[in-house]
């Protein structure tokens, strides 16, 4: 917090629609007098010791500010490019990915009462990046599960459940098949649960969880789901689908020191630069960021204005069936503050 009473936050505007949706966040925050000063940084990769990495000044900015908001980063497909998103997660050891999905009034989907909270282990599992060719035509990919990383994300899930007052945690797993790896995750969950006697704990198989959530999401509205990396990646997108897609879902990547909040969607190159992007997901991510910083009043006020604008349905973007440009939607949110 600076002498002007404002908190400096690192802002990675990102690629494609990133700068347009970032502008909406900046405009709305300034209209709401949110005590946030943005420090815009670029994470365009540089080469250090022959390896692709994030520029030092970007790392220094996030380390100094503890909190960053990030627009989407385009990841070229194929060899030789490490995903910058992955690099950021690794650099700052952002071990937990928090993905809430709550139905948005005014945007009709098959269910209007979805309210899931999912926490995904963010550093290992199937995404450890340990792959090799055994012989031509045979590749091996290693799923790494450690007690340390499992305990860390599970402890975070229980603590988070307590903080938000959802006193039920459910671990999602496939320990019936992955007996050792998911088995370790599950046994860690049972152990950590003992430290949180006021939080109810149970476990569910991933396939069953998928079937149940799409059949009726309401039994999940009082739980925090926690799971290994790949399951969390897929299940969180499935939940996003239940509330109307990736244009509406925020996320937080939480580490011990720093945290980075980001929209779940990509850089949408097909609509970039046309003023058609929906900034809601990045806005809701910035709300999660404000809550994380303890600025709950500002968070609630901006969130209420967003939900009101969406519920009115007059000034919404094309992906939600409206005709508004990105800046027109932002102006409507500002009017509703
Ligand atoms: P995408 O999410 O960018 O786009 C998928 C579809 O959704 C497109 O039709 C797009 O126009 C639409 N869309 C996405 N966000 C929108 C928004 N806010 N408003 C309105 N419409 C929106 O996915 P993609 O096309 O698979 O990926 C494009 C690039 O983004 C790739 O380089 C990919 O690697 C990258 N990506 C980055 C992240 C991230 O930074 N977290 C996440 C996913 C994809």
Q: Give the pLDDT band (50/70/90) at residue 290.
A: very high
Tokens 């970039």 correspond to 272
Q: pLDDT per residue over 131-140, tens digit each?
A: 999 999 999 9
Q: Is residue 264 pLDDT above 70, yes or no?
A: yes
**Residues contacting residue 259 through CB under 8 Å, at least 6 positions apart:** 66, 67, 68, 94, 252, 253, 289, 292
Ligand 1 pocket check for 278: Cβ under 6 Å: yes
pLDDT for 77 equals 60
Helix (H) or strand (E) holding 229: helix 229-243
Percentage of the chain surpassing pLDDT 90?
83
Ligand 1 centroid to residue 304 C-alpha, Å: 26
Minimum mean pLDDT among 45-49, 58-62, 230-234: which range? 45-49
Q: What distance in angstroms lies between residue 3's CA and the mean position of ligand 1's atoms? A: 38
Least confident of 15-24, 87-96, 133-142, 154-163: 87-96
Number of the ligand 1 atom closest to the C-alpha atom of 84: 40
Q: Considering only CA atoms, which residue is closest to atom 16 of ligand 1?
A: 247
* Section 318-336 average pLDDT: 95
Q: Is 20 close to ligand 1, i.e. is its CB under 6 Å away?
A: no
- Cα 4 to Cα 40: distance, rounded to the nearest angstrom: 18
SS3 101: strand
| Arithmetic mean of pLDDT, 156-174 | 96
Q: Are 13 and 43 in contact (CB under 8 A)?
A: no
pLDDT at 3 over 90: no
Q: What DSSP line would sit under 143-183, residue for residue?
A: EE--HHHHHHHHHHHHHHHHHHT--EEEEEE-TTTSTTHHH
pLDDT of residue 171: 98
How sure is the predictor about 81, in pLDDT bands with cuts at 50, 70 and 90? Answer: low
Measured from the CB, is residue 245 less than 6 Å from ligand 1? no
ipTM reported for the complex, 2 dp: 0.97
- Beta-carbon contacts of residue 93 (< 8 Å; ≥ 6 apart): 123, 255, 256, 257
pLDDT value at position 106?
82
Distance 267 CA to ligand 1 centre (A): 4
Question: Which of 13, 25, 68, 72 most suits a substitution to test ligand 1, by most atoms within 8 Å of the C-beta?
Answer: 72
Q: pTM (2 decimals)?
A: 0.93
Ligand 1 pocket residue status of 73, Cβ below 6 Å: yes
- Name the band, by pLDDT with cuts 50, 70 and 90, for residue 259: very high
110 pLDDT higher than 70: yes
What is residue 76's predicted lDDT score, i.e. its pLDDT?
A: 67
């Amino acid at each position: 917090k600076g002498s002007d009473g404002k908190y400096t936050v690192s802002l990675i505007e990102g690629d494609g629609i990133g700068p347009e949706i970032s502008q909406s966040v900046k405009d709305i925050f300034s209209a709401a007098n949110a005590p946030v000063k943005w420090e815009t940084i670029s994470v365009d990769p540089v080469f250090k010791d022959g390896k692709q990495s994030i520029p030092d000044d970007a790392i220094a900015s996030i380390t100094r500010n503890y909190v960053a908001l990030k627009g989407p980063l385009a990841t070229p497909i194929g060899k030789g490019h490490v995903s910058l998103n992955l690099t950021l997660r690794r650099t700052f050891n952002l071990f937990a990915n928090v993905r809430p999905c709550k139905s948005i009034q005014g945007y009709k989907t098959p269910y209007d009462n979805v309210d899931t909270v999912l926490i995904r282990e963010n550093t290992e599992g199937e995404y450890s990046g340990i792959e090799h060719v055994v012989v031509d035509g045979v590749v091996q990919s290693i799923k790494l599960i450690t007690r340390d990383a499992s305990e860390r994300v599970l402890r975070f899930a229980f603590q988070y459940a307590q903080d938000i007052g959802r006193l039920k945690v459910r671990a999602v797993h496939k320990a019936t098949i992955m007996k050792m790896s998911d088995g370790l995750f599950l046994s860690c969950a049972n152990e950590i649960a003992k430290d949180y006697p006021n939080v109810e704990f149970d476990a569910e198989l991933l396939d069953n969880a998928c079937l149940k959530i799409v059949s009726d999401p309401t039994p999940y509205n009082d739980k925090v789901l926690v799971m290994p990396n790949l399951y969390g990646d897929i299940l969180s997108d499935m939940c996003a689908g239940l509330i109307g897609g990736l244009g509406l879902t925020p996320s937080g990547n939480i580490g011990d020191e720093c945290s980075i909040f980001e929209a779940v969607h990509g850089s949408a190159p097909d609509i970039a630069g046309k003023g058609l992007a929906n900034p809601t997901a990045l806005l809701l991510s910035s709300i999660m960021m404000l809550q994380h910083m303890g600025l709950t009043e500002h968070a609630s006020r901006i969130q209420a204005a967003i939900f009101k604008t969406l519920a009115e349905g007059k000034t919404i973007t094309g992906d939600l069936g409206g005709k508004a440009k990105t800046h027109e939607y932002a102006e409507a949110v500002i009017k509703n503050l």
